[in-house]
Amino acid sequence: MLHRPLAGLLLPLALLLGACGGSGDEQLTGAVLDQPYAVPDTALTDTDGAAYSLAADTDKRLTLVFFGYTHCPDICQVVMATLASAVTRLDDADRDNVDVVFVTTDPERDTATVLRGYLDHIDPDFVGLTGPLADVVSVADGLHIGVEQGEKLPSGGYDITHGTSVLGIDGKDQVPIVWSQETSATQYAADIHQLLS
């Protein structure tokens, strides 16, 4: 991952996040990338069955994206619950300018129905995306997120190895900021407010 410490990035931050309106006056928790990732335009499928591209169909000023799966035994549920909690901390103006997208890394088991049910228990407004595994991997690779099917478990299922970063897509279809799995709801909310200010 290409990033540098946030100290000393105040002026570049203002330039990188211009589409989000970030002032750069305060330090962000997320890691600001030296070279923002370009968002691939490969279309996946949302839980209504419609084509959805992270480049073409993210129309909010800021879209937070996480790659995971509904059978994930640990980190996915924690990250998604943290994002849901962060959203509840936003004022109405900020909330109206943010989307959260969950891209399944396990499309074989995460059908549209399974994915929608999972997200409805977290936040019904969250967008769920699925699609052929090759397409999911292609999009993930373009965003520097590793996705790999693990070995079969004795239970008959299998683990999916995937990156645990949350990506921030701006209005220019770029990812200038990335958050780690340790980011708290309070930190997300503060960063989102700053980026949208």
Q: pLDDT tens digits, residue range 43-87?
A: 999 999 999 999 999 989 999 999 999 988 889 999 999 999 999
Q: Is the dihedral of CA 98, 75, 46, 130 positive or negative?
A: positive
Please report the pLDDT score of residue 62 as a whole number. 97
pTM for the model stands at: 0.83
Q: Name the binding residues.
A: 72, 76, 162
Please report the pLDDT score of residue 152 as a whole number. 59
Q: Which residue has the tokens 């209005």?
A: 171
Q: Name the binding residues for Cu cation.
A: 72, 76, 162
User: pLDDT class for 26, splitting at 50, 70, 90?
Assistant: low
**Does the 10-196 domain belong in CATH 3.40.30.10?**
yes
| Domain ranges across the chain | 10-196
Say which range, 18-22, 36-40, 76-80, 133-137, has the weakest mean pLDDT: 18-22
Q: Could you tell me whether strands 62-68 and 158-162 are parallel, antiparallel, or unpaired per DSSP bridges?
A: unpaired
- With a CB cutoff of 8 Å and minimum separation 6, the contacts of 135 are 42, 43, 44
Please report the pLDDT score of residue 48 as a whole number. 96
- pLDDT surpasses 90 at 40: yes
Q: Which long-range contacts (CB under 8 A, 24 or more apart) does 9-13 make?
A: none
Q: Rounded to whole angstroms, how far apart are CA atoms 114 and 161?
A: 20
Q: Mean pLDDT score of the chain, rounded to an integer?
A: 84
Please report the pLDDT score of residue 108 as a whole number. 86
Please report the pLDDT score of residue 187 as a whole number. 97
- pLDDT surpasses 60 at 6: no
- pLDDT surpasses 70 at 150: no
Q: Which residue has the tokens 């928790």?
A: 29
